[in-house]
C-alpha cells in the first residue's frame, strides 16, 4: 500500500428532498449564483422551478445549453458571465458534463485569458469560485471529486484538469432526480462508474481495503443497473447507483494505489474525435482491454475479479476463470443495451493510429497497469471493430 | 436507503514518514500546540522526539498520562492548560483514548465549568480548538470521526459526546507507528473496528453499498489481524488494519442506515464499572449478542453475513449457516487471544441489573436492530459467564 492523502471536504446531502437544505448551505458564500445546466430536462422534470423557488432570496444568473463533452468555448462564456456579474458561487444542476464545465468556469472566472490554458496546464489554477451541485445523473463522480474533462472543438482534444479548489463544496444527491434519465444514459452511467472502479482495481499496486471496497461497489452496479433500467423510478436502485458513482471516484478506491488508468485515455480520444457518450465508449473498450492485457502476469488478479465480482466458481484453470469474468463483463454491458463494436458507433479505422498516439502521450499509458504503447492501443481499437 | 449527510473534512495523511507534512498543515492554526499523549510508549518508540524535532518552530505545551477510558478530570486538566496558555491547537499522539480526551479538551477550552456538562449535553458545545492527530493504535476510528467517549470516575458513567467541531482537521496515519503495539491491544483494536462495522451492518435499514463495503472491511480485519499478531512489523498488515479502523467509523458504513448500535452501549457499562479494554469487552459480547438476537426475523441477514464475510458454504438450512457465521466470529476472537467470558475479566454477576438498566437508557436500546430491554441485556451478560 503506497502513501496517500485522502481529503474530500464535499458536504454530501443524500436523499429525497435534500434540495431544501441548499439555501442554508449556500448563504455563507454570497448572493449571486450562476445556475448552470444542459438541455431542458431539468425544466421538464420540475427541478428547475423547484430550485428557483427554494433560492428565491438569491440573485440567479444562468448559463444553459452545456453540451455533453463540454467545450472550452462554453467554459469561456461562463467565465465571462462570472467576471461581468461578480458571481459568488456556481450551482451546477446536471450530470458530469455540466459539473465539469462548471468546475472549469469556476477557475476560469479568476483567469484573464482563454480557459484552455488552465486545462492544458499552461497557466496554473490559482483560485476558483465555490461550486455546489445538484446531481441529475449517476455516472462520472464529478459531484465528489476535483477533476474535470474539457473538450476543445478547434483542436479535437479532450483533456483532464484537476485542482483541490474545484471540489464541490456541497452536492445534493437526490436519487429521484435520476428517475427520468433515459435507458441509454442510465446504462452509460453504470458503465462509467464501473470503469472508474476497474481502472484502479487493476493496478500495479495491490491494496486489500480499496480492492474489497471496489468489489462491493461493482456488485452494487451489477445488481442495481438492470433494476433501474426495468423500473426507472425504483428509488433503491437509483440510490445505490448514485452513491456508487460518487464513491467510485472520490479517491476511496484508489487509496494506496498507483492511480494510473488505461481505458479512460483511449476513450477520451474516441469521444474527442467522434463525440460519443463517454460511458458507452468505456463499456465497449473495457472487455477488449481486459482480453488484451490478460497474461501470466495478470491472470491472478483477473481470477480474483471473476470470483469476487461475478461469482464465477473457483477452478484450477486460472485462465478459464479469468476469461469467464471478462465474458461476464462484456455480456453485462451488452445486456444493459450498450454497443460492443465501433461499427455501432459508425466509427471506422481511419484514425486509429492518430488516436493511439495521442492516448499514449496524454494518458502516460506506458506507466499503466500493463504498459501500453501506440501499437497496443491501435490493436485494442481494432479489437472493437 | 435513508437520507443522510456525509461530510468528513479530515485531511488524512497516510503512510510512512507522513509526520513530516504536519508543520505545513498546522502552521495556519497558530503557534501554541498542546501535545497530548498517554503513557511513555511514544517516548520509547522515538515518535515523541521525532515530533518535537519536526515541530521546533511551534511552542509546545504538554499533557501526558491520559488514561485508557479517559476521565473527565483529565479533560478538565487539559482545558485549564488551554485557557491559561492560550493554546491554538491540540496535537493528540496516541490511540482512541488520547484522541477522545483531546476532543473533549478542545471543547472544554471554550467552556467555563466542568467539561462533564459538555459530555452529558447539559451545556452545548459552541466552539472547539482545532485538533490534529498522530495515530498510534488502529482501533477506535476516533482519528476520522467527531465523537468521543469520556468516563466519569465519580459517577461511574461512560458517555458518548459528539459534535462536528470535534472532527480532527488533520490525521497522520503512519502504520509504522503501530509496529510496537502489544498483541492484546492489537487484537482488542481489531475487535473494536469489527464491532463498529457490525453495529451498523446489523441494522433495521438495508442498504447494499454500505453493507458491501462493510463485508470487505470485515474481511480485511479477518485477514490482517492474525498477520499483525504473528509479525508485528508487517507493514501491509498494519496498513490495512489502520485504514480499516478509520473507514469503520467515519460514517461510510452507516450511510443510509439507522445508526442504532447495540453492543457498544452494553460494553460501555462494563468498562465504566470495571475498566476493561473496550475492544476486548466488545469481542466477548458480540457473539453472545448475535446468538441472542438470531431469530426468524434476523436469520437472512446472519446468513448473508456468514456467507459473504466468513465464506461459509451456502446451504438450505439457514439457521445452520447463520450459526456457523456466529461460531466463526467467536472462534476468530478467541484465536487472536481475546477472553470470551466475564470470569476471565474477574467480573461477577453482582451488577448485571444495574448495568443493564443504564445501557438500555443511555443507548436507546429499545430502538436497536433487535430492540433490547433490561432483561435482554442482563441475559446477554449472563451468557458471558
Q: Is the Cβ–Cβ distance between A374 and A353 less than 8 Å?
A: yes
Q: At what angle do helices B183-201 and B278-293 cross, to 10 degrees?
A: 40
Residue A341: the pLDDT is 97
Confidence tier at A156 by pLDDT (50, 70, 90):
confident
Both A191 and A109 in one domain: the answer is: no
Q: Determine, for residues A256 and B1 on separate chains, whether the beta-carbon distance falls below 8 Å.
A: no
- Nearest-CA distance from B221 to chain A in Å? 9
Taking residues B317-332, report their average pLDDT. 98
Q: Determine, for residues B6 and A18 on separate chains, whether the beta-carbon distance falls below 8 Å.
A: no
Q: Determine, for residues B236 and A1 on separate chains, whether the beta-carbon distance falls below 8 Å.
A: yes
Residue A80: the pLDDT is 98
Taking residues A137-154, report their average pLDDT. 95
**Interchain contact B247–A (C-beta under 8 A):** yes
- With CA atoms as reference, the chain A residue closest to B216 would be A212
Both B275 and B127 in one domain: the answer is: no
Size of interface A-B (CB pairs under 8 A): 113
Both B222 and B366 in one domain: the answer is: yes
User: Could you report the per-residue pLDDT of A337-383, keeping only the tens digit for each?
Assistant: 999 999 999 999 999 999 999 999 988 899 999 999 999 999 999 99
- Nearest-CA distance from A2 to chain B in Å? 7
Both B354 and B236 in one domain: the answer is: yes
Chain B residues touching A240 at Cβ < 8 A? 1, 207-209
Domain assignment of residue A206, yes or no: yes
Last residue of a domain, one of A125, A158, A177: A177
The ipTM of this complex is 0.95
User: Could you report the per-residue pLDDT of A302-333, keeping only the tens digit for each?
Assistant: 999 999 999 999 999 999 999 999 999 999 99
Confidence tier at B311 by pLDDT (50, 70, 90):
very high
User: Could you report the per-residue pLDDT of B23-71, keeping only the tens digit for each?
Assistant: 999 999 999 999 999 988 999 999 999 999 999 999 999 999 999 889 9
Both A210 and A224 in one domain: the answer is: yes
**Interchain contact B311–A (C-beta under 8 A):** no
Taking residues B170-182, report their average pLDDT. 97
Is residue B156 over pLDDT 90? no
Confidence tier at A272 by pLDDT (50, 70, 90):
confident
| The total number of structural domains that make up chain A | 2
**Interchain contact A218–B (C-beta under 8 A):** no
Residue A113, domain CATH: 3.40.50.1970
Domain assignment of residue B341, yes or no: yes
Q: Any residues with CB less than 8 A from the CB of A182 and at least 6 apart, and which?
A: none
What residue ranges in chain A does DSSP mark as E strands? Answer: 4-6, 11-14, 32-36, 59-63, 89-94, 131-135, 147-152, 157-162, 170-173
CA distances (Å), B106 to each of B25, B103, B166, in order? 18, 5, 7
- Nearest-CA distance from A47 to chain B in Å? 19
Q: Is the Cβ–Cβ distance between B294 and B383 less than 8 Å?
A: no
For chain B, give the secondary structure using H, E and C: CCCEEECCCCEEEECCCHHHHHHHHHHHHCCEEEEECCCCHHHHCCHHHHHHHHCCCCEEEEECCCCCCCEHHHHHHHHHHHHHHCCCEEEEEECHHHHHHHHHHHHHCCCCCCCHHHHHCCCCCCCCCCEEEEECCCCCCHHHCCEEEEEECCCCEEEEEECHHHCCCEEEECHHHHCCCCHHHHHHHHHHHHHHHHHHHCCCCCCHHHHHHHHHHHHHHHHHHHHHHHCCCCHHHHHHHHHHHHHCCCCHHHCCCCCCCCHHHHHHHHHHHHCCCHHHHHHHHHHHHHHHHCCCCCHHHHHHHHHHHHCCCCCCCHHHHHHHHHHHHHHHHHHCCCCCCHHHHCCCHHHHHHHHHHHHHHHCHHHCCCCCCHHHHHHHHHHCC
Residue whose grid cell is 433515459: A182
Last residue of a domain, one of B177, B195, B222: B177
Nearest beta carbon to residue A213 from set B2, B7, B213: B213
Taking residues B189-194, report their average pLDDT. 97
- Nearest-CA distance from A144 to chain B in Å? 11
Q: Is the Cβ–Cβ distance between B328 and B312 less than 8 Å?
A: yes
Confidence tier at B158 by pLDDT (50, 70, 90):
confident
Is residue B239 over pLDDT 80? yes
Both A97 and A154 in one domain: the answer is: yes
**Interchain contact B255–A (C-beta under 8 A):** yes
Q: Which three cell numbers stand for residue B356?
A: 443493564
- With CA atoms as reference, the chain A residue closest to B2 would be A15
- With CA atoms as reference, the chain A residue closest to B10 would be A7
Taking residues A274-299, report their average pLDDT. 96
Domain assignment of residue A6, yes or no: no
The gap from C-alpha A41 to its chain's centroid, in whole angstroms, comes to: 20
Nearest beta carbon to residue A9 from set B9, B14, B219: B9
Is residue B272 over pLDDT 90? no
Longest Cα–Cα distance in chain A? 67
Both B162 and B37 in one domain: the answer is: yes
Both A199 and A167 in one domain: the answer is: no
Last residue of a domain, one of B146, B177, B208: B177
- Nearest-CA distance from B381 to chain A in Å? 33
Q: Is the Cβ–Cβ distance between A164 and A201 less than 8 Å?
A: no
Domain assignment of residue A105, yes or no: yes
Q: Determine, for residues B239 and A256 on separate chains, whether the beta-carbon distance falls below 8 Å.
A: yes
Residue B358, domain CATH: 1.20.1090.10
**Strand B131-135 and strand B89-94: pairing?**
parallel
**Interchain contact A2–B (C-beta under 8 A):** yes
**Interchain contact B240–A (C-beta under 8 A):** yes
Residue A40: the pLDDT is 85
Residue A69: the pLDDT is 87
* Mean pLDDT, chain B, whole residue set: 96
- With CA atoms as reference, the chain B residue closest to A11 would be B7
Whole domain around residue B125: which residue ranges? 11-177
Confidence tier at B163 by pLDDT (50, 70, 90):
very high
Domain assignment of residue A95, yes or no: yes
Residues of chain A above pLDDT 90, percent: 95
Both B170 and B246 in one domain: the answer is: no
Both B157 and B235 in one domain: the answer is: no
Residue B259: the pLDDT is 86
Residue B171: the pLDDT is 98
Confidence tier at A245 by pLDDT (50, 70, 90):
very high
| pTM of the predicted protein model | 0.96
Nearest beta carbon to residue B212 from set A2, A216, A256: A216
Domain assignment of residue A291, yes or no: yes
B36 phi/psi in degrees, rounded to 5: -115, 140
Residue whose grid cell is 478538565: B76
Residue B225: the pLDDT is 98
- With CA atoms as reference, the chain A residue closest to B176 would be A3
Please identify among residues 148-177 of chain B the ones whose CB lies closer than 8 Å to any CB of chain A: none
Domain assignment of residue A2, yes or no: no
Nearest beta carbon to residue A220 from set B12, B212, B219: B212
Domain assignment of residue A4, yes or no: no
Residue A174: the pLDDT is 98
Both B167 and B205 in one domain: the answer is: no
**Interchain contact A9–B (C-beta under 8 A):** yes
**Interchain contact A217–B (C-beta under 8 A):** yes
**Interchain contact A243–B (C-beta under 8 A):** yes
Confidence tier at B275 by pLDDT (50, 70, 90):
confident
Chain A residues touching B13 at Cβ < 8 A? 5
Both A169 and A219 in one domain: the answer is: no
Other beta carbons within 10 Å of A15: 21
User: Could you report the per-residue pLDDT of A20-58, keeping only the tens digit for each?
Assistant: 999 999 999 999 999 999 988 999 999 999 999 999 999
Residue A269: the pLDDT is 93
Residue A275: the pLDDT is 77
Is residue B368 over pLDDT 80? yes
**Interchain contact B209–A (C-beta under 8 A):** yes
**Strand A11-14 and strand B4-6: pairing?**
antiparallel
Amino acid at each position: 500500500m503506497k502513501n496517500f492523502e485522502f481529503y474530500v471536504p464535499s458536504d454530501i446531502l443524500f436523499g429525497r428532498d435534500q434540495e431544501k437544505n441548499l439555501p442554508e448551505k449556500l448563504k455563507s458564500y454570497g448572493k449571486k449564483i450562476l445556475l448552470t445546466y444542459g438541455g431542458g430536462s431539468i425544466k421538464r422534470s420540475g427541478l428547475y422551478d423547484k430550485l428557483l423557488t427554494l433560492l428565491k432570496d438569491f440573485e440567479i444568473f444562468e448559463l444553459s445549453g452545456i453540451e455533453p463533452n463540454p467545450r472550452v468555448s462554453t467554459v469561456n462564456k461562463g467565465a465571462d458571465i462570472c467576471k461581468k456579474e461578480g458571481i459568488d458561487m456556481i450551482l451546477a444542476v446536471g450530470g458530469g458534463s455540466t459539473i465539469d464545465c462548471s468546475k472549469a468556469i469556476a477557475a476560469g472566472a479568476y483567469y484573464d485569458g482563454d480557459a484552455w490554458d488552465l486545462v492544458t496546464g499552461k497557466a496554473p489554477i490559482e483560485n476558483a469560485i465555490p461550486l455546489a451541485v445538484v446531481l441529475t445523473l449517476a455516472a462520472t463522480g464529478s459531484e465528489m471529486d476535483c477533476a474535470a474533462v474539457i473538450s476543445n472543438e478547434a483542436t479535437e482534444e479532450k483533456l483532464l484538469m484537476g485542482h483541490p479548489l474545484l471540489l464541490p463544496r456541497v452536492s445534493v444527491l437526490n436519487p429521484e432526480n435520476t428517475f427520468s434519465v433515459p435507458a441509454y444514459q442510465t446504462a452509460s452511467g453504470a458503465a462509467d462508474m464501473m470503469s472508474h472502479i476497474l481502472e484502479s482495481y487493476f493496478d500495479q499496486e495491490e491494496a486489500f481495503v480499496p480492492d474489497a471496497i471496489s468489489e462491493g461497489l461493482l456488485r452494487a452496479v451489477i445488481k442495481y443497473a438492470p433494476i433501474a433500467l426495468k423500473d426507472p423510478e425504483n428509488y433503491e436502485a437509483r440510490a445505490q447507483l448514485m452513491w456508487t458513482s460518487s464513491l467510485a471516484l472520490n479517491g476511496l478506491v484508489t487509496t494506496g494505489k498507483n492511480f494510473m488508468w488505461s481505458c479512460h485515455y483511449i476513450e477520451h480520444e474516441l469521444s474527442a474525435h467522434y463525440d460519443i457518450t463517454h460511458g458507452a465508449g468505456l463499456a465497449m473498450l473495457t472487455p477488449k482491454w481486459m482480453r488484451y492485457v490478460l497474461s501470466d502476469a495478470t491472470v491472478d488478479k483477473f481470477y480474483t475479479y471473476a470470483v469476487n465480482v461475478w461469482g464465477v466458481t473457483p477452478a484450477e484453470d486460472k485462465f478459464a476463470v479469468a476469461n469467464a469474468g471478462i465474458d461476464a463483463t462484456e455480456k453485462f454491458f451488452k445486456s444493459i443495451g450498450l454497443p460492443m463494436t465501433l461499427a455501432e458507433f459508425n466509427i471506422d479505422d481511419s484514425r486509429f493510429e492518430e488516436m493511439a498516439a495521442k492516448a499514449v502521450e496524454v494518458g502516460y499509458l506506458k506507466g499503466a497497469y500493463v504498459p501500453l504503447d501506440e501499437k497496443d492501443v491501435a490493436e485494442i481499437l481494432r479489437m472493437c471493430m
